[in-house]
Amino acid sequence: MLVFLLVFLSACEVYPARDQAGIPDMAAVSADKAKQGIQYCAVFVADHIVDIYYKPWMLSETALTLLISGEHKKARAVLDKAYNIALGLDNPSYKADAMLEVAKGYSRIKEYKKAVAIADAIEAVIPRIKTYAAVALNYYDGGKAVEARELLDRTAMWVENDLKKDLSDRALGKLAETYISVGETDSALDLADKISGNAARARILVKVSEAYLKVNNKEKALFALSEAEKTVLTVEDPLEGPVISAGIAVVYSGMGEKSRSGEFLKRAYGDAMAIRSKYSKPEVLSRVSASCLKSGFRDMALDVAYSIGDDNYGPRALAEAAVFCEDKSEAEKVLSDALKAVEDIRSRYSQASVMFDITKSYVRLGDPGRALEIAGEMQDDYNKPRALAMIANEYAMNGDKAAAYRIFDASLEVAGMIEDNFYKSWALAYISDKFAASGLSVDERIKKALVRIVDATVAK
């Protein structure tokens, strides 16, 4: 019997987790397997996370990378281990968040009943709602629209009957958004009427209107939009009003009513500039700038972006607007201005995070070479490997496999320098996705990089 068990386990590579009754856990992925592919390495590192509260989250995240190679059973085994760990957590908040991630993972591998059962057991209201919504989306994406609708209907009934108003508005808003995502816009409109908060109701009405417009139902789109217009006038929160007005502008633009769209964008910009909080104002302005771009008002988007005056949201908004510039020289100037603003950011992580967005814009503009130069200047070990992986994938898509391999190798080298296994495995999961998208196969250089990461992880 023992011989059979050993043979069985060695063939599986990824093993189900043991229970919490003092029985030692088995490895999620063996060290030898982790040296053969980036996705296995990501799981291996996640399995070595010391912080028990974050471990189930990252195991769930990295388990899905195993689907890249079609390994459903192995992904299930890693999720089982994450689930067992989450069950043993003593902090209710961390436990709810962990269960949310685990349930999302189960539903991604089409273990829907297991995911719903986990959601049913979550005591915290908002994580429970988020879990139901995530499972419903995965039902829908898996071709099970009826099951998605039934789950959302059941959840909506529970929210309406059992929750207090302060929680029901948030829950109904989340459910309405999910109804829209699964093509049930009429149900989302019905829920909007039941939301008591004016800002929350107006936000959903805008999204409902936009959803109707996408399916060419202009009559219902106009109805929802007119309701949103009336409601936004009653919104007292200075942070909510500008964002909702900007959203209305996007819908009007989609209807071809540019003049009306411009009016709402000007109103949104004016209201945003009147915000007194120096912490909240930049974020709201960045969202208004994004709406200007969606509405086709590029010049206004640039004006708003330049007015932000914040080292974080300002350069991000500029980076996004640059992609819409009419000629390359103008785009380069805007991105150059964004980079200058980044220099004043003190936090290495925050600086690299903004630089990541700038590299994305250069890639979108067809200049991966410049993106690579900027990535090389990053001082943060988490954002830098992600930027390099994104750029490597772009080179692969352009047919330059040699450059792609070289840059992927560099991304793994930097990821291996990340001290915390949580962030290291997260970066590896991202690199794994990009590597799979590139269509490249693991060569000796990549294997050597994985060996270094695995050996360093074991040596800790």
Give the pLDDT score at 23: 35
What is the chain's mean pLDDT, rounded? 92
Q: What distance in Å separates the CA atoms of residue 264 and residue 268, rounded to the nearest whole number?
A: 6
Each residue's pLDDT tens digit, 392-408 = 999 999 999 999 999 99
- Lowest-confidence pick of 61-70, 104-113, 162-171: 162-171
Q: Work out the average pLDDT over 171-175.
A: 94
Residue 274 Cα distances to 44, 49, 200, 236, 302, angstroms: 50, 45, 21, 13, 19
Query: Are the beta carbons of 346 and 305 closer than 8 angstroms?
Result: no
Give the pLDDT score at 25: 54
Q: What distance in Å separates the CA atoms of residue 56 and residue 86, rounded to the nearest whole number?
A: 6
Query: Are the beta carbons of 55 and 44 closer than 8 angstroms?
Result: no
Residue 419 C-beta-side C-alpha neighbours within 13 Å: 1
* Cβ atoms within 10 Å, residue 437: 14
Percent of the chain as helix, strand, coil, to the nearest 5: 75, 0, 25
Give the pair of three-digit tokens for residue 408. Answer: 């992927």
* Cβ atoms within 10 Å, residue 80: 22
Q: Give backbone dihedrals phi and psi of 213, rounded to 5 degrees, phi first.
A: -65, -35
Give the angle subtended at the CA of 77 by the CAs of 71 and 78, to the nearest 5°. 95
Give the pLDDT score at 214: 97
Give the pLDDT score at 4: 34
- Report the C-alpha dihedral over residues 140, 146, 151, 155, rounded to 10 degrees: 110
Give the pLDDT score at 165: 64
Q: pLDDT-derived band of residue 27, with 50, 70 and 90 as boundaries?
A: confident
Query: Are the beta carbons of 341 and 318 closer than 8 angstroms?
Result: yes
Q: What distance in Å separates the CA atoms of residue 375 and residue 445, rounded to the nearest whole number?
A: 21
Q: pLDDT-derived band of residue 168, with 50, 70 and 90 as boundaries?
A: confident
Give the pair of three-digit tokens for residue 177. Answer: 């958004």
Residue 342 Cα distances to 260, 374, 381, angstroms: 35, 11, 17
Q: Work out the average pLDDT over 317-346.
A: 95
Q: What distance in Å separates the CA atoms of residue 46 and residue 423, rounded to the nearest whole number?
A: 9
Q: Is the pLDDT of residue 22 over 90?
A: no
Give the pLDDT score at 460: 77
Give the pLDDT score at 10: 35
SS3 state of residue 317 = helix
Count, residues in the chain = 460
